[in-house]
Amino acid sequence: MSAVTIYDTTLRDGMQGEGISFSEEDKLKIARKLDEFGIAYIEGGWPGAAPTDTEFFRRAKDVKFKNAKLVAFGSTRRAKNTAADDPYIEKLLQAGTSVITIFGKSWDLHVRDVFRVSLEQNLEMIRDTVSYLVAQGREVIFDAEHFFDGYKADRAYALETLNAAAEAGASCLVLCDTNGGSLPHEVEEITREVVSIFNTRIGIHAHNDSELGVANTIAAVKAGATQVQGTVNGLGERCGNANLCSIIPILQLKMGIKCVPDESLARLVELSRYVYEVANIVPDDTLPFVGASAFAHKAGVHADAVEKNPRTYEHIDPALVGATRRILISSYAGGSNVVHMAKRLNIDLKKQDPQVKALLDHVAELERQGYSFEEAEASFELVVKKALGQYRKVFDLKGFRVIIEKRGPEEQCITEATLKIAVDGKEAFTVAEGDGPVHALDNALRLALQRFYGKELSKIKLSDFKVRVVNSRAGTAAKVRTLIESRDQEASWSTVGVSENIIEASWKALADSVEYGLLRHLEKKDAARSEQVSD
């Protein structure tokens, strides 16, 4: 097989996932990103089913897609109407897309119990809808809903529904595992038979209820399916849809089947994170290929082997999909992990060096206190620099106080932070308000540092703040772990703080975050000065 066409349904089926809601502006942003990536078909939604979808298609008419065909999605006509008289079919045409996907029932159970029409009536609804839309100059894709369940219940009738769509002019017959309960060997066998019967292109649309969405998709492709439907990050109803972020690299890198431009693969992680960001969802770090943990190595044995030859514990080069290798530091780590981190800091260490053992012991002690550096590599880098004598102190804390005041049941809380620091012996004392204690402390710290590091400080922005309970059994006296993410124009970094007091834990993470960012810029400035001197 030379190529497979990718059909993305993130904006329709993916939006049906719990907690996911895209505005029309969100949908336009994602559609443009999918088009840039090289997706062939982008299903935008069901015009007429929701105002957001209708508005999306209205605005999408002004968007010029370079690679993708925009698709409107809808059902076969209602039993009491003809396709020409059905108002929902008319709304599909009004969407103005060159491609329309129609889903129809292929399981006799649904025909009788949901549509409550005869089996022949259902076939006529499919024929009439597809033929009418084709006559209007549209490419029509037919989604055979519940096809695999329908095939197992009544093989002959399920095939009849496909035949009705094919004879009416459908360009592709998509076999849907709508309930997500089919197994790969079933999907492969049934798809192979369908491919042998029909000259029309065959597609696959798998759900992940048995955690087999990707496996079933690959099985269908092996059997001859040439269109693959799925969503970015596997978003979708119930347990989600087949994940295109896994399917695309499997097809292209492991099976040699082209489905997107070669240069797009290296932007797969970027696409995954972009959709998560627009959806306002915390990324799933454990996703294959695109998750932050996909190429992360924690065990010392693994890290040592990967340093010698990445193929020992990595099934592909992370760079092929835009991912990066991460060597994690924890009490499970070995000397290789520390040596790897030191190398990143341009510090030459050997596993046998006494500093390595001392650093691992220190990390183990910090973890016993509740620290975790897997999501806070910036804090760990500061720990390494301190342990190896490479640390440059940016400021000293003399003390802080945070006051939270509420002056009535309907009044907003007022938060004020008072802070005193010293830089090279020069003290700064500031007071600042904020929307909460962390925001107030951040504002006070920035005010205090302004006179010393104004230019560098202006580039650092706090972008995320999280709180985790370390020992929940202690109740309100439990230790908390705070994680802060900051960024500048070039990179982002995370830091961690731990304490029984949430304000102190937050301060530790905040101080590390600002200090790390300032050190980045100060070290660059020093390097630039050194180059000028050498020139």
Q: How far is CA 491 from CA 378, 446, 517, in A?
A: 11, 20, 10
Among 205, 207, 297, 302, the active-site one is: 302
User: How many other CB atoms sit within 10 Å of the CB of residue 468?
Assistant: 16
Q: 382 and 254, same structural domain? A: no
Q: Does 287 map to a domain?
A: no
Q: 502 and 370, same structural domain? A: no
Q: Which pLDDT score is estimated for 320?
A: 95
Q: Could you identify the residue written with the tokens 């519940």?
A: 146
What DSSP designation does 111 have?
Answer: I
What DSSP designation does 7 have?
Answer: E
Q: Does 284 map to a domain?
A: no
- Domain boundary among the residues 387, 408, 436 is at 387
The residue among 196, 200, 121, 114 whose CA lies nearest residue 149 is: 114
- Domain boundary among the residues 387, 422, 442 is at 387
Q: 42 and 170, same structural domain? A: yes
Q: Which pLDDT score is estimated for 93?
A: 97
The pLDDT tens digits for 344-399 are 666 677 777 777 777 777 777 887 788 877 678 888 888 888 887 778 889 999 99
Q: Does 408 map to a domain?
A: yes
Q: Does 290 map to a domain?
A: no
Q: Which pLDDT score is estimated for 126?
A: 98
Q: Which pLDDT score is estimated for 295?
A: 85
Cβ neighbors of 148 (< 8 A, separation 6 or more) are 175, 176, 177, 182, 186, 187, 190
Q: Does 291 map to a domain?
A: no
Handedness of CA 76, 84, 41, 95 (dihedral sign): negative
Q: 81 and 42, same structural domain? A: yes
Q: Does 48 map to a domain?
A: yes
User: How many other CB atoms sit within 10 Å of the CB of residue 18?
Assistant: 9
Q: 428 and 376, same structural domain? A: no
Q: 215 and 325, same structural domain? A: no
Q: How far is CA 406 from CA 59, 219, 410, 411, 489, in A?
A: 46, 61, 9, 7, 37
Q: How far is CA 177 from CA 79, 115, 186, 463, in A?
A: 24, 19, 11, 40
Q: 493 and 434, same structural domain? A: yes
H/E run at residue 512: helix 502-534
The residue among 334, 321, 254, 255 whose CA lies nearest residue 287 is: 321
Token reading at 420 = 């005193």
Q: Which pLDDT score is estimated for 281?
A: 83
In the chain, the number of structural domains is 3
**310 pairs with which residues across the strands?**
none
Q: Does 286 map to a domain?
A: no
- Measure the CA–CA gap between 65 and 72, rounded to whole angstroms: 15
* Alpha helix stretches (DSSP H) within 73-118: 87-94, 108-110
- Domain boundary among the residues 325, 358, 387 is at 387
73-86 b/e (C-beta count within 10 Å ≥ 16 → b): bbbbbbeeeebeeb
Q: Does 288 map to a domain?
A: no
Q: Is 185 a catalytic residue?
A: no
Q: Which pLDDT score is estimated for 375?
A: 73
Q: Which pLDDT score is estimated for 332?
A: 55
Note the pTM of the prediction, 2 decimals: 0.73
Whether the Cβ atoms of residue 395 and residue 408 lie closer than 8 Å to each other: no
Q: How far is CA 488 from CA 170, 184, 441, 459, 517, in A?
A: 51, 46, 19, 5, 8
Domain limits for position 244: 5-279
User: How many other CB atoms sit within 10 Å of the CB of residue 357?
Assistant: 13
Q: 376 and 404, same structural domain? A: no
Whether the Cβ atoms of residue 395 and residue 424 lie closer than 8 Å to each other: no
The pLDDT tens digits for 54-109 are 999 999 999 999 999 999 999 999 999 999 999 999 999 999 999 999 999 999 99
Q: 382 and 402, same structural domain? A: no
Across 156-261, the runs of DSSP E, i.e. the strands, are 172-177, 201-206, 227-230
The residue among 458, 377, 454, 382 whose CA lies nearest residue 423 is: 454
Q: How far is CA 101 from CA 88, 148, 197, 418, 510, in A?
A: 13, 19, 22, 61, 50
Q: 438 and 342, same structural domain? A: no
Q: 378 and 413, same structural domain? A: no
Whether the Cβ atoms of residue 279 and residue 235 lie closer than 8 Å to each other: yes
Q: 358 and 417, same structural domain? A: no
CATH number at residue 185: 3.20.20.70
- Measure the CA–CA gap between 230 and 176, rounded to whole angstroms: 11
Q: Which segments of the chain have a pLDDT < 70?
A: 1, 299-300, 303-304, 327-338, 340-341, 344-347, 374, 471-477, 530-535
